[in-house]
């Protein structure tokens, strides 16, 4: 292996770790696990005044897209929803949703940290790293919403603590 190939692999690994971290929320943000910590179903389903969604609705939305991305990475071709509302399914049972969401986020983190997966082209020839990065950004955007919703409900910080600024 040449020195150039060695440094390219190193860059891919560093990139993959950074993007992979975003699926779990860190290290510059509170983790998804902590952001969801201690929320009972009734709390997760409450929508604060003047906000559009509950924590459960936001998590169901992000999970919809995580499942969509995982299907693509598994070689399937799921159709995107016809309208934005199609990406906001009803949350269903909170405990199962939370567990599935965290499991799939961990799987996406692992895939983002796999240099071969990141380099592999999608159906249009674009490396999957681009898609993984876009979805990771989407997840972090909504992570901020979850924290804001919890703050509006007076449910922040979570039981084990969290940033309050």
The DSSP secondary-structure symbol of 139 reads H
- Look at residue 27 in the predicted model and tell me its pLDDT: 64
Statement: residue 121 has pLDDT above 80: yes
pLDDT of residue 160: 87
The whole-angstrom separation of Cα 106 and Cα 23 is 7
Identify the bridge partners of residue 121 per DSSP, sorted by sequence position: 127
Nearest Cα to 61, choosing from 135, 122, 128, 162? 135
- Predicted confidence (pLDDT) per residue in 56-93, tens digit: 999 999 999 999 999 999 999 999 999 999 999 999 99
Q: Between 3 and 104, name the one with better pLDDT.
A: 104
Look at residue 121 and give its three-state secondary structure.
strand
The H or E element containing residue 59 is helix 55-73
Q: Is the pLDDT of residue 26 over 70?
A: no
* In the predicted structure, residue 157 carries a pLDDT above the cut 60: yes
39-43, 126-130, 158-162: which has the minimum mean pLDDT? 158-162
Predicted structure pTM score: 0.88
| pLDDT for the residue 124 | 87
**CATH numbers and ranges of domains, the chain:** 11-152 (1.20.120.450)
Tens-digit pLDDT profile for residues 3-23: 555 555 546 677 777 777 777
Reference 18, options 113, 84, 105; nearest CA is: 113
């Amino acid at each position: 292996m040449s020195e150039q190939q060695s440094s390219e692999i190193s860059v891919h690994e560093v990139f993959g770790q950074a993007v992979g971290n975003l699926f779990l929320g860190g290290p510059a943000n509170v983790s998804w696990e902590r952001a969801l910590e201690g929320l009972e179903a009734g709390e997760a389903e409450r929508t604060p005044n003047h906000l559009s969604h509950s924590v459960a609705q936001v998590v169901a939305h992000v999970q919809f897209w995580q499942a969509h991305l995982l299907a693509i990475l598994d070689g399937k071709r799921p159709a995107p929803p016809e309208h934005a509302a199609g990406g906001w399914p009803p949350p269903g049972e909170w405990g199962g949703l939370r567990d599935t969401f965290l499991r799939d986020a961990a799987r996406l983190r692992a895939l983002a940290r796999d240099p071969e997966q990141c380099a592999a082209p999608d159906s249009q020839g674009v490396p999957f790293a681009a898609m993984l990065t876009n979805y990771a950004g989407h997840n972090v955007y909504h992570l901020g919403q979850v924290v804001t919703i919890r703050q509006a409900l007076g449910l922040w910080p979570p039981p084990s603590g969290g940033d309050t600024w």
